[in-house]
Amino acid sequence: MLASRRRQAAERGIGLSEHLTPAVTAGDPRLIESLVANLVDNAIRHNRPDGHVEVTTQTSGTQVALTVTNSGPVVPADDLQRLRRPFQRLAPDRHGRGDGHGLGLAIVDAVTRAHRATLTTDARPEGGLSVTVRFAQISQP
Predicted model pTM: 0.86
pLDDT tens for 12-22 read 999 999 999 99
DSSP per residue over 45-93, as a string?
Answer: HTS-TT-EEEEEEEEETTEEEEEEEE--S---GGGTTGGGSTT--S-GG
Task: Tell which residue, 125, 135, 6, has the closest CA to residue 67.
Answer: 135
Amino acid 91: pLDDT: 64
Amino acid 124: pLDDT: 95
Query: What Cα–Cα distance (Å) separates residue 26 from each residue in 13, 22, 65, 138?
Result: 35, 13, 13, 7
Q: How confident is the model at residue 103 (pLDDT cuts 50, 70, 90)?
A: low
For residues 134 and 117, the answer to whether their CB atoms sit within 8 Å is yes
